[in-house]
Amino acid sequence: MSANTCRYRPGLRHWHPLLASRALGRKPIARTLAGERLVLFRTAGGRAAAVAETCPHRRMSLAAGRVRGDQLVCTYHGWSFDPEGAIRCPLMPSQALRHQAYQVREAHGLIWIRKSEPSTSPDPASQAPDPNPPLPSWDTGGLALAGVAFHTVPAPLELTLDNFTEVEHTSTIHQVFGFSEPQAIEHRLELEPAATRVWNNGPQKAFPPLFNGFIDNRPGDTFANDWITTFDPLLTVYDQTWTGPSGRLRRFRLKVVMFFVPIDDTTTQLTTFVYSPKVLPGRLHRWLAAPIIKAVTAHELNLDVWALAQLADLDTELTPRMLGPLDRVLLENRRRLKPAYLAEPER
């Protein structure tokens, strides 16, 4: 079999939210992360674990296996694998065999995956990656979680990030959240060594009538969509607010936390947390308002996914002279993405 040549392999150093915790039950699930096929399983004690999908004995997919105690048992010849990758072979019980295992954590109702790589540097003071970095964290701004959405994008990581870090397309692609006049957008870009910050402000396109009745936003409001993108792992945190004609900040706002998960060279997963104020009292917000807010946001993301599926060319190179005034951030993102996801770590 050919070696994995996915160009996002260094991205496995970072924690990525791969799937919802509730999706992993008694049956193993196959997934791909940065080009590597792996299998997630839950031990009888409830621990989530992940190992490489292919059984090293005779190439059977371990996704076809079964869980017995804390072991994932291959359905072909009964070899078993624990969460740390230790192998038990029925015919060679004394052999100390190992299989590729991944670090797994559960938080925010999701399963997070990364692959630790042992440092081979002889210098103990070298800047080797943290062997056990903390999970990403973010400030919710006092807002309530409306839900988590998953989207599979048929485009490379770079092109997916391009789409979600420019606002020009919101006037043409989006139906709810976006600017009515791209030429009227006030735009500011601030650069940090490991992050890019963007501030946008302009006229909000007309909301659907039902949406006007659900929140306090009205026609003629000014929409601000401000965000920061960081690259360890790759995520963008959006703060979306609206201001009325009188200059009063509307009560309704959104915080959207979007993780870009590289699946392979041409596919990206979006794992998106949506936060909002509680617009209805008590359980009504959780049972009615939150699902609607999540559904509307997911619908807007569906439109982005549709647009990316229409790309005629998946070449990730940018031509600076063909970029518009709102596109400078794309070049800056590329510079920060390369060492985090594309450049192999120094040995």
pLDDT in tens, 153-164: 999 999 999 999
Is it the case that residue 236 has pLDDT exceeding 90?
Answer: yes
Residue pair 36/12 in contact (Cβ under 8 Å)? The answer is yes
pLDDT band at 41 (very low <50, low <70, confident <90, very high): very high
**Domain 144-342, CATH class in plain words:** alpha beta
Is it the case that residue 94 has pLDDT exceeding 70?
Answer: no
Report the distance separating Cα 82 and Cα 47, nearest Å: 11
Residue pair 243/78 in contact (Cβ under 8 Å)? The answer is no
Is it the case that residue 308 has pLDDT exceeding 60?
Answer: yes
9-114: CATH, from 1.10.4080.10, 2.102.10.10, 2.70.180.20, 3.30.1050.10: 2.102.10.10
Domain map (residue ranges) of the chain: 9-114, 144-342
Is it the case that residue 19 has pLDDT exceeding 70?
Answer: yes
**Angle formed at CA 253 by CA 247 and CA 257, multiple of 5 degrees:** 135
pLDDT of amino acid 1:
40
Domains 9-114 and 144-342 share a fold: no
The three-state secondary structure class of 318 is coil
pLDDT of amino acid 176:
86
pLDDT of amino acid 301:
96
pLDDT of amino acid 7:
92
pLDDT band at 119 (very low <50, low <70, confident <90, very high): very low
pLDDT of amino acid 214:
63
Q: What is the pLDDT averaged over residues 41-53?
A: 96
Q: Strand 101-107's sheet: what is its strand order? A: 16-20, 110-114, 101-107, 48-52, 36-42, 29-33
Per-residue pLDDT tens digits for 248-280 = 999 899 999 999 999 999 999 999 999 999 988
Is it the case that residue 336 has pLDDT exceeding 50?
Answer: yes
